[in-house]
């Protein structure tokens, strides 16, 4: 079973997701031609997103690495990136069964009306599998591994329900969609708490400006494309180390600037393909669910956050945060991780944050900054467990290179819920395990009451 899932994950999202969505479309009554087209458009979206984000990390990574080499920085945790984490997740015993187990949990919660999210974002089930893998290799218990993964899954489904209404009203064309992805939902508590605090800071309300407002007030200077060019050129110049080096490297600096600008411009165009491909399937699933449950409950289809990472505020704040978090990773005492391969995951921090901050650039930047600072320490703390899981899974081509003491990935280990549940189960053992289960059940109870009131 593990070998089967290792083979499937090796196909990648660009192949796996079209197959899944084509099969799902046929099963819910779409014509094969229409289902196939929807699935292929999703696949094309993943290909395009992969090409663009790879272009970002390929060009930006060496420049950022050059900065660390130039100043003799020593950060021993190597950034393996999320693809390595996903491969490890599906190569372990937990990953072999995580999809059917989680789908079973989802069905059970739908039947008892403790959730209204139908999570068909199967690719991102690797997050639950990887948490389970870390718990398994830390405790040796497959039971505790599945327990941790299921607790994370249940909490994520409930948070997807809690944020669905705001998500659907904020993003255009997202009716009936929710985001049951644990990395994204880990930043919801940060957005709520920090947003509440910032609303009480005198004068901060005057900074209520979104990405479109930047364009209106600053013209070209407020365009994500232009900001990408400026930030890219700035990082390229910083890596040169001297004025003479900057003069000699002008062509490469300009190329980096244009490349980062291109990423800012291309991502929104690519994410439109996801929406075009998923719309027929989501509508058909909604119709089936309404027919099955008599239209009493408004269901949401759990989808990938890739649908909305092209929002202008997400792009602007992500690009601005990249050099800031690089600098902070160097100067923060106790941090051992430098995000390079994980930079592309920065865009996925904000899909569930923006509906809470209403797209306010300043507020979103502060939320992202605080969340990422905490995330750096989460990553550093989980590096030993992350490294142990990578070594035990023994995936071909995935290993910590010589000169580094461990491996990690920003877009998994920095997630608050993943970090919390791991330590509750592994570090606090019986008491923590009970607390994790009680939290999941309490959220289910609250959600069930909300659903019941909404259907009356």
Entry field: residues in the chain: 456
Give dist(CA 290, CA 131) in Å, integer. Answer: 34
The token pair that represents 427 in the structure block: 């570090």
Residue 194, pLDDT score: 93
Instruction: With CA atoms as reference, report the closest residue to 275 among 38, 53, 48.
Output: 38
The residues spanned by each domain of the chain are 45-455
Orientation angle between helical segments 416-426 and 361-393, nearest 10 degrees: 40
Residue 202, pLDDT score: 83
| Pair 448, 113: CB distance under 8 Å | yes
Residue 325, pLDDT score: 86
Residue 374, pLDDT score: 93
Residue 52, pLDDT score: 75
DSSP 8-state code for residue 177: E
Residue 282, pLDDT score: 72
Give dist(CA 447, CA 60) in Å, integer. Answer: 42
For the beta carbon of residue 3, count every other beta carbon within 10 angstroms.
Answer: 9
Residue 69, pLDDT score: 66
Specify the 3-state DSSP secondary structure of 337: strand
The token pair that represents 283 in the structure block: 């509508």
Residue 85, pLDDT score: 77
Q: Which residues contact 236 (CB under 8 A, 6 or more apart)?
A: 63, 249, 252, 253, 254, 256, 257
The runs of H, that is alpha helices, within 175-249 are: 182-185, 188-198, 211-218, 224-238, 243-248
7 burial via Cβ count (<10 Å: 0-12, 13-18, 19+): exposed
The token pair that represents 273 in the structure block: 């393909």
For residue 377, report the phi and psi dihedrals to the nearest 5 degrees.
Answer: -75, -35
Q: Which residues contact 280 (CB under 8 A, 6 or more apart)?
A: 25, 30, 34, 35, 38
DSSP 8-state code for residue 401: P
Give dist(CA 142, CA 385) in Å, integer. Answer: 16
Residue 443, pLDDT score: 96
Instruction: With CA atoms as reference, report the closest residue to 45 among 133, 123, 97.
Output: 123
Task: Give long-range contacts, CB 8 A cutoff, 24+ apart: 137-143.
Answer: 137/92, 137/385, 137/388, 137/389, 137/392, 138/385, 138/388, 138/422, 138/426, 139/425, 139/426, 142/93, 142/94
Q: Which residues of 152-171 are buried (b: 16+ CB within 10 A; e: fewer)?
A: bbbbbbbbbbbbbeebbebb
Residue 9, pLDDT score: 58
DSSP 8-state code for residue 201: S
Residues of the chain with pLDDT under 70: 1-14, 49-50, 53, 56-57, 60-61, 64-74, 83, 91, 210-224, 241, 271, 289-290, 292-297, 394-398, 403, 455-456
CA 79, distance to chain mean position in Å, is 16
């Amino acid at each position: 079973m593990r070998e089967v899932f290792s083979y499937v994950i090796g196909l990648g999202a660009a192949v796996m997701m079209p197959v899944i969505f084509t099969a799902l479309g046929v099963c819910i009554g779409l014509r094969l031609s229409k289902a196939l087209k929807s699935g292929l458009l999703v696949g094309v979206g993943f290909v395009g997103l992969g090409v663009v984000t790879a272009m970002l990390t390929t060009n930006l990574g060496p420049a950022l690495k050059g900065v660390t080499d130039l100043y003799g920085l020593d950060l021993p945790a190597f950034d393996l990136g999320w693809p390595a984490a996903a491969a490890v997740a599906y190569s372990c015993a937990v990953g072999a069964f995580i999809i059917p187990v989680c789908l079973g949990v989802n069905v059970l919660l739908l039947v008892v009306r403790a959730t209204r999210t139908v999570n068909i974002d199967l690719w991102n089930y690797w997050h639950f599998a990887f948490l389970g893998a870390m718990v398994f290799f830390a405790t040796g218990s497959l039971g505790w591994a599945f327990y941790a993964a299921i607790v994370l899954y249940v909490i994520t489904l409930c948070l997807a329900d809690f944020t669905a209404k705001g998500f659907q009203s904020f993003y255009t064309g997202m009716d009936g969609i929710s985001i049951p992805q644990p990395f994204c939902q880990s930043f919801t508590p940060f957005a709520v708490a920090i947003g509440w605090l910032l609303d009480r800071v005198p004068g901060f309300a005057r900074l209520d400006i979104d990405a479109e407002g930047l364009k209106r007030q600053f013209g070209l200077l407020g365009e994500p494309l232009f900001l990408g060019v400026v930030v890219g050129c700035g990082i390229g110049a910083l890596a040169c180390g001297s004025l003479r080096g900057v003069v000699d490297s002008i062509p490469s600096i300009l190329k980096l600037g244009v490349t980062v600008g291109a990423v800012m411009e291309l991502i929104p165009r690519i994410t439109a393909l996801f929406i075009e491909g998923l719309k027929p399937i989501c509508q058909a699933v909604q119709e089936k669910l309404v027919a099955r449950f008599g239209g009493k409950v408004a269901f949401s289809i759990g989808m990938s956050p890739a649908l909305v990472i092209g929002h202008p505020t997400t792009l602007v704040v992500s690009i601005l945060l990249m050099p800031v978090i690089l600098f902070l990773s160097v100067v923060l005492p106790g941090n051992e991780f430098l995000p390079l391969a994980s930079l592309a995951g920065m865009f996925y921090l904000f899909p569930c944050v923006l509906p809470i901050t209403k797209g306010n650039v300043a507020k979103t930047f502060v939320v992202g900054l605080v969340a990422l600072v905490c995330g750096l320490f989460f990553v550093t703390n989980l590096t030993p467990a992350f490294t142990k899981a990578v070594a035990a899974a023994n995936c071909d081509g995935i290993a910590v290179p010589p000169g580094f003491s461990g491996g990690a990935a920003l877009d998994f280990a920095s997630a608050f819920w993943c970090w919390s549940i791991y330590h509750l189960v592994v570090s606090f053992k019986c008491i923590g395990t009970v607390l994790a289960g009680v939290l999941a059940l309490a959220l289910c109870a609250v959600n069930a009451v909300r659903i019941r009131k909404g259907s009356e």
